[in-house]
Amino acid sequence: MESAEDGRNWEAVGRLEIAGEAFCTGALIEPGLVLTAAHCLFNPETGARVPADQMQFLVGWRNGRAAAYRRVRRAEPHPDYDYRSATDADRVRVDVALLELQHPVRNGSIVPFETDHRPENGDRVGVVSYAHNRSEAPSLQEICDVKAQQRGVLILTCQVDFGSSGSPVFSFDTGTPRIVSVVSAKAEANGEPVSLGTTLEIPIALIKEVLARKDGLAATGITGVSRVGAIPRNTGAKFITP
């Protein structure tokens, strides 16, 4: 595990401030495009969409300062995402969103991350986040394994917490970090803590199509929780809403 001092390696990861009341983690995948979780776009109390103009992406936020501050021009969840649906595999599989920034981040020290195909079972991955105990600097929270995958849902041995929503999950197989998933929820699988995310190839393509059609893109056992469901039964996992 790396410490928060390693935040300097993750400049393209940032904090997504939501209506001044909450935050998620997001990552640049293009100069003007941020990848995060779809549920971050909704008010958890009312279920209503948070207006895009009430969101701000703090690029490389570290100890009270950001390398760049950007307002959000458009925020688009996966077209099949339904915030009010049960927290189950179907919801996690489409829990991904893209944010189009009002102005692209063009800074030589901030290089957007590339995305990659889904990892295989047993592959080593890492989560970079602004979880509640590291909210002032992005850091490689943990190196962990892909435990299983079912119908587009990745089950990871990474232990995540509040603030990790939307965090990029990286593969290091090529020697360069590439995003292979985003954190959607935490859960238990056979009594062990796990995190859950979606694969990215098809969801990102679908959301980009929606943004383009809307003239968006300029270039192209658990206790104490309210929503619990079961993922595919052979994983033995139960969901916890992040």
Query: How far is CA 129 from each of CA 112, 126, 150, 211, rounded to the nearest angstrom?
Result: 16, 10, 24, 26
Question: What pLDDT, in 10s, does the model give residues 167-177?
Answer: 999 998 888 89
Question: What pLDDT, in 10s, does the model give residues 27-69?
Answer: 999 999 999 999 999 998 888 999 999 999 999 888 888 989 9
* Confidence (pLDDT) at 63: 82
- pTM for the model: 0.84
What band does 193 get if pLDDT is binned at 50, 70 and 90? confident
**8-101 is classed CATH 3.30.200.20:** no
pLDDT at 216 over 50: no
Ordered by start, the domain boundaries in the chain are: 8-101
Query: What are phi and psi for residue 103, nearest 5 degrees?
Result: -135, 130
Residue whose tokens read 């001092």: 5
Query: What are phi and psi for residue 219, nearest 5 degrees?
Result: -90, -35
Q: How far apart (Å, rounded) are the C-alpha atoms in residues 58 and 60?
A: 6
